[in-house]
Amino acid sequence: MELSLTTEVRMVKGVGPQRAELLAKRGIHTLEDLLGYLPFRYEDRIHFSNIRDLQPGGTYTVRARVMSGSAVPSSVRYRKHDAIYHLLVQDSTGSLPCKFFHGGYLEGRLKPGQLLVLHGKVEVDRLRPARIEMVNPQMELLRGEEMDSTEVGRIVPIYEAIGMFGSRAIRRAVYGTHFPPPDESLDALNAFRSPAQQRLVFEEFFLFQLSLGLNRRAIRRENAIAFAVREERIREALKRILPFKPTSAQKRVLAEIAADLERPVPMNRLLQGDVGSGKTIVALEAAVIAIENGCQAALMAPTEILAVQHFLSARRILSRVGYRVELLISGLNPSEKAAARERVRTGEAQLVIGTHALIEEDVQFNRLGFVCIDEQHRFGVLQRKRLMDKAAVHGIAPHVLVLTATPIPRTLSLTLYGDLDVSLLDELPPGRTPIVTRISSQQNLPGVWGFFGREVAAGRQAYIVYPVIEETKLELKAAIKEFARLSKEVFPKLRLGLLHGRLSSDEKEEVMQGFRRNEIQVLVATTVIEVGVDVPNATVMVVEHAERFGLAQLHQLRGRIGRGEEKSYCILIAPTRMSDEARLRLETMVRTTNGFEIAETDLQLRGPGEFFGTRQHGDLGFDVANPLRDRGLLELARREAFQLVEDTNQGPLLQQILGALPAHWQRRYHLARVG
């Protein structure tokens, strides 16, 4: 059959309908898409290591034959998938034991004499320290007919399996394309530094930056309402709402925002400021300017808890100037919701605060002039766009301010927020005492609870955070059960509340209200409190199983305390034995409260995809490029792309590039539409 780039993958030899379905879930539809699914590393299968030469701590690829193999249950309670599979292999220089955790599925699959390629880390056998073993290696069985060039005798591409579609099958399906020339350096390949890879990385960055550049240009060409910001009555209104003296950073940022709002071009600005730096009031000030100019303002928050909190504080603060503030969340009952929407439509509601409910199909605004998106990292770029489109119905584009507490190193902000201007709130409000953070253990819990009880008895409030809502077989303490136990056995005299994601909106709101009013002294919660919750009287936080949480998450969680003038304490409960990475995370938390420092460490530990948590959004997941590893190319691609967009003489070239783009790029970045 003739293959072309647009051939459907199921027609490709070695794929077929079932695998095609798996591939479709990953967005791979055509042969071109499949070719774009690149190997994540390469293995040298020209030079295999001799078993005799293996050293503990090293990672090796060996070619060896099966001697014997068997599954052994890993615990007394035998569960088949839990079994450890022990495999013994040999080459001409010696034999090597291998161990596969959860290897029960291998039982009966391997026969003595079969030839395998094994790739993995060699470690000292814990029980017999004189011996070494390979632990959880990647393994491929070489069948007779596969002794050909796709498997051995060359540098071989290794893919992340897609469901049951394993690395070898993918390799065979794309045979030809991803096999580097034999003289290519393995190190260069694995560092993504070979010329072919650099070319692909550049393409990915370039097209992404092109879409940002075009987006930015499109926004700049739109009309926005130029607000009056200097008039006396507006200054008066701003002065009246301020519940405290703004920090100089807040003043500077407001001036930057006001300068944008004065222009007939939409503001498109990111306000970056660490947890607790006081972003909310700045957003409300901008809303006041919009409202005083006869426009509506909207504030979108990522969770209902946060939306309600913003609603309550905005209503309190703005009541001094008599504005009508509206709440729009999906938890409202149908008649409330209809009434709220009606007030939004007629313009009676001047500031509208809500969740995703704001961008639902049938919500209509009335002269929406200013939009603020809180904790932007929780939303995708597309959601931001949808809120902007809501305003654009009347031919005017809104001024947009997005808030984020995720501190981002410059190269990465170029990727995530590359089309925005950036303001920085780099100062905490005065009178904050630094939070004391300590690591402790289950064994010390009685002591921890003693201290905890004394703080609460002295009038403070506190959080206790658990990683899960209900018990799982992972033997983690769970919020529901611990809430019951703590209420009864540990703190019978204190008023405890329970908050987790499975409560209804009303239930959540009731608990939060109780906590805000200090009727609940101790909030037992899951990570639902992670973003934005602001109860300044809460000064103590205990995080159980802290080793299970990511750094960014711990930083956000800890940001719930240290918001008032009282000294705050964060106690991280973790086992005495944990992975090096977990220990590094917790020690980082103890060492610093600086969000930038924490973000840098986090980024080193996790890589950018995980860091942004954007994999699931799919709007930033690069296939080949890695903004951290390929910083230089990212900067270059940005310069080139922005130059191309801004240079009017290059218009025809730009059109030509957009016209020639492969379909998957157009889909991904909406380039065709934007252009």
Task: Please give the residue whose beta carbon sits closest to ligand ADP in the complex.
Answer: 278
Cβ contact 573:440 at 8 Å: yes
Task: Write the CB contacts of 368 (distance below 8 Å, at least 6 apart in sequence).
Answer: 295, 296, 297, 298, 390, 391, 398
Cα Rg for the chain, rounded, in angstroms? 29
Q: Least distance from C-beta 309 to ligand ADP, angstroms?
A: 9
Specify the residue, 289 or 644, whose C-beta has the smaller distance to ligand ADP: 289
Task: Rule CB under 6 A: say whether 280 interacts with ligand ADP.
Answer: yes
Among 166, 246, 514, 675, binds ligand ADP (CB under 6 A): 246
Determine the interface stretch with ligand ADP among 19-27, 110-118, 245-253, 609-617 (rule: CB under 6 A): 245-253
Specify the residue, 374 or 419, whose C-beta has the smaller distance to ligand ADP: 374
Q: Least distance from C-beta 256 to ligand ADP, angstroms?
A: 16
Please classify residue 172 by burial: count the beta carbons closer than 10 Å to its beta carbon, then call 0-12 exposed, 13-18 middle and 19+ buried.
middle
Distance CA 503, CA 500 (A): 6
Of 435, 401, 67, give the one whose Cα is nearest residue 261.
401
Structure tokens belonging to residue 638:
């940005």
Structure tokens belonging to residue 115:
């030839």
Among 277, 556, 593, 601, binds ligand ADP (CB under 6 A): 277
CA distances from 618 to 70, 78, 328, 549 (A): 41, 39, 27, 23
Of 406, 427, 103, 115, give the one whose Cα is nearest residue 277.
427
Specify the residue, 565 or 647, whose C-beta has the smaller distance to ligand ADP: 565
Name the 3-class secondary structure at 162. strand
Cβ contact 435:282 at 8 Å: no
Specify the residue, 66 or 512, whose C-beta has the smaller distance to ligand ADP: 512
Specify the residue, 197 or 313, whose C-beta has the smaller distance to Mg ion: 313
Cβ contact 3:31 at 8 Å: yes
Among 276, 331, 354, 398, binds ligand ADP (CB under 6 A): 276
Q: Least distance from C-beta 279 to Mg ion, angstroms?
A: 5
Task: Name which of residues 408 to 437 contact ligand ADP (CB under 6 A).
Answer: 429
Among 69, 137, 273, 407, binds ligand ADP (CB under 6 A): 273
* DSSP string over 373-442: ESSGGGS-HHHHHHHHHHHHTTT-PPEEEEEE-----HHHHHHHSTTSEEEEE--PPTTPPPPEEEEE-G
Q: Least distance from C-beta 418 to Mg ion, angstroms?
A: 23
Q: Least distance from C-beta 66 to ligand ADP, angstroms?
A: 58
Task: Rule CB under 5 A: say whether 559 interacts with Mg ion.
Answer: no
Greatest Cα pair distance, the chain, in angstroms, is: 89
Specify the residue, 405 or 551, whose C-beta has the smaller distance to ligand ADP: 405
* DSSP string over 288-314: HHHHHTT-EEEEE-SSHHHHHHHHHHH
CA distances from 415 to 121, 442, 636 (A): 34, 41, 12
Name the 3-class secondary structure at 54. coil
Specify the residue, 254 or 344, whose C-beta has the smaller distance to ligand ADP: 254
Determine the interface stretch with ligand ADP among 167-175, 276-284, 330-338, 624-632 (rule: CB under 6 A): 276-284
Specify the residue, 201 or 533, whose C-beta has the smaller distance to ligand ADP: 533
Among 150, 194, 209, 247, binds ligand ADP (CB under 6 A): 247
Specify the residue, 277 or 415, whose C-beta has the smaller distance to ligand ADP: 277
Task: Rule CB under 6 A: say whether 356 interacts with ligand ADP.
Answer: no
Q: Least distance from C-beta 313 to Mg ion, angstroms?
A: 10
Cβ contact 243:317 at 8 Å: yes
Identify what 497 binds: Mg ion, ligand ADP, none; CB under 5 to 8 Å per kind.
Answer: none
The site string for ligand ADP over 555-594 (x = CB under 6 A, - otherwise) reads: --------x-------------------------------
Specify the residue, 429 or 532, whose C-beta has the smaller distance to Mg ion: 532
Strand partners, 88: 68, 97
Structure tokens belonging to residue 566:
């009282």
Identify what 415 binds: ligand ADP, Mg ion, none; CB under 5 to 8 Å per kind.
Answer: none
Q: Least distance from C-beta 277 to ligand ADP, angstroms?
A: 4
Determine the interface stretch with ligand ADP among 132-140, 242-250, 294-302, 321-329 (rule: CB under 6 A): 242-250
DSSP β-ladder status, 132-142 and 115-124: antiparallel
Task: Write the CB contacts of 670 (distance below 8 Å, at least 6 apart in sequence).
Answer: 211
Specify the residue, 383 or 404, whose C-beta has the smaller distance to ligand ADP: 404
Determine the interface stretch with ligand ADP among 109-117, 240-248, 451-459, 513-521 (rule: CB under 6 A): 240-248
Task: Rule CB under 6 A: say whether 279 interacts with ligand ADP.
Answer: yes
Task: Rule CB under 5 A: say whether 278 interacts with Mg ion.
Answer: no
Specify the residue, 104 or 273, whose C-beta has the smaller distance to Mg ion: 273
Q: Least distance from C-beta 247 to ligand ADP, angstroms?
A: 5
Tell me how crowded residue 248 is: count the other CB atoms within 10 A of its CB: 9
Of 3, 24, 43, give the one whose Cα is nearest residue 168.
43
The site string for Mg ion over 53-92 (x = CB under 5 A, - otherwise) reads: ----------------------------------------
Specify the residue, 417 or 642, whose C-beta has the smaller distance to Mg ion: 417
Specify the residue, 347 or 536, whose C-beta has the smaller distance to ligand ADP: 536
Distance CA 579, CA 311 (A): 42
Among 69, 398, 532, 559, binds Mg ion (CB under 5 A): 532
Identify what 150 binds: Mg ion, ligand ADP, none; CB under 5 to 8 Å per kind.
Answer: none
DSSP β-ladder status, 84-91 and 94-100: antiparallel
Distance CA 40, CA 189 (A): 10
Among 71, 281, 435, 552, binds ligand ADP (CB under 6 A): 281
Distance CA 592, CA 416 (A): 25
DSSP β-ladder status, 436-440 and 569-573: parallel
Among 5, 244, 336, 484, binds ligand ADP (CB under 6 A): 244
Task: Name which of residues 530 to 549 contact ligand ADP (CB under 6 A).
Answer: 534, 536
Task: Write the CB contacts of 436 (distance below 8 Å, at least 6 apart in sequence).
Answer: 567, 568, 569, 570
Specify the residue, 277 or 423, whose C-beta has the smaller distance to ligand ADP: 277
Determine the interface stretch with ligand ADP among 189-197, 243-251, 342-350, 490-498 (rule: CB under 6 A): 243-251
Contact residues: ligand ADP, CB under 6 A: 244-247, 250, 273, 275-281, 405, 429, 534, 536, 563
Contact residues: Mg ion, CB under 5 A: 532
